A = this chain, B = another copy of it.
Amino acid sequence: MAADTAGAIHTLGELAQRFGLKLRGDAGLRIAGVCSLSPGKPDCLGFCADPRLRGELAQTRAGAVVLGGRDAEAFTGNALVAQDPALAFARVAALYDPSREFQPGRHPSAVVAAGAQIGAGCWIGPLAVIEDGARIGDNSFIGPHCVVGRDAEVGPDSRLEAQVYLGARSRLGARCHVQPGAVVGGRGFGLARTPAGWEEVPQLGAVVVGDDVEIGANTSIDRGALDDTVIEDGVKLDNQIQIAHNCRIGAHTAIAACVGIAGSTVIGRRCMIGGAAGIGGHLRIADDVVILGRAMVTKSLTAPGVYGSGLPVMPAREWRKLVARVRRLHHFEQQLETIRKKLRLETSGDASEPDDF
């Protein structure tokens, strides 16, 4: 079922005042929750932040709508007018989100080592394991089946939903939010080759995570080999991401699902990395770089900007022909040269272009 907003009710006027929004219409309208524009619910608040949704806006049954000034002109229903309607709506919606509420305490089935320190106002959930020397800051939530390893640290107001692993000596800052199945502080994949096979290189660092970081479901962040793997403040990581040992992810960078980042790579601040992109090891990505989904990054990107790669989908028959054609490119090149010679055109110097990846 969709969101059950669990009884919280606010009038439209209260919401306008609380969030500094301009009210249009019935200040006394009771808003019991938030909803999509289409179809919309009469006792709920919708929002419109995308011009493509103006058609839905005209037909919505939502009791009121958060929208921008331009859309407000044409809209005759109850409204909260905002400079950034998506952001305003997010903040209003948080009022109706029961998912982060909890009563402090400790479930009797939790296993908390005698030497662990648990702050005030925390909830330690059923079957959570808090190992010796671990510290949990005030008002944090440790869900069922989480493991907080030896001497690990969770900052205040953080939330580990369930089945999260935080390895020994690793640290999460304040207001972090970690989804189920995330592994923070597993062994880095450090190996040394010998004639008899691979030997493990000890991974003696940790993972150090700043404040306000989100870590998605089944995401893995390995601890460093000698120094630490670092995730700076405000980084947002989606699900199924792999971050190898000794990486550093700059503040406020957002990374979509299924991205893999190889060891010792440093990503700048405020970057946005699209889903399933892959970034090689020992690279530097500048601040404010945008990498599109599925891009293959094999060299450092030293200037801000938007980067992409890959051949998008086509009917399989055409795709097979296209691959064959790409593989014949050396023939085209030879034929072109033959023609150019025959026509006495200048010879191309391009063949010496370096392979810079």
Residues in B with CB closer than 8 Å to A323 are 311-312, 355, 357
Q: Which of A81-140 contact B (CB under 8 A)?
A: 84, 86-87, 89-91, 93-94, 96-97, 99, 107, 109, 111, 125-127, 129
Whether, in the assembled complex, A20 has its beta carbon less than 8 Å from a beta carbon of chain B, the answer is no
- Complexed CA–CA distance, A162 and B131 (Å): 12
Against B, the Cβ 8 Å flags (1 = close, 0 = not) of A300-338 are: 010001111111111111011111111111111101101
With A183-B218, A226-B34 already in contact, the answer to whether A311 and B310 are too (CB < 8 A) is yes
- How many copies of this chain sit in the oligomeric assembly? 3
- Complexed CA–CA distance, A22 and B357 (Å): 39
- Report whether A189 and B202 are in contact in the complex, using a CB–CB cutoff of 8 Å: no
Binding site for B on A (CB under 8 A): 1-5, 33-36, 84, 86-87, 89-91, 93-94, 96-97, 99, 107, 109, 111, 125-127, 129, 143-145, 147, 151, 161-163, 165, 167-169, 171, 177, 179-181, 183, 186-187, 189-194, 197-206, 208, 212, 214, 216-218, 220, 222, 224, 226-228, 233-234, 236, 238-240, 242, 244, 251-252, 254, 256-258, 260, 262, 275-276, 278, 280, 290-299, 301, 305-317, 319-333, 335-336, 338-340, 342-343, 345, 348, 350-351, 353-355, 357
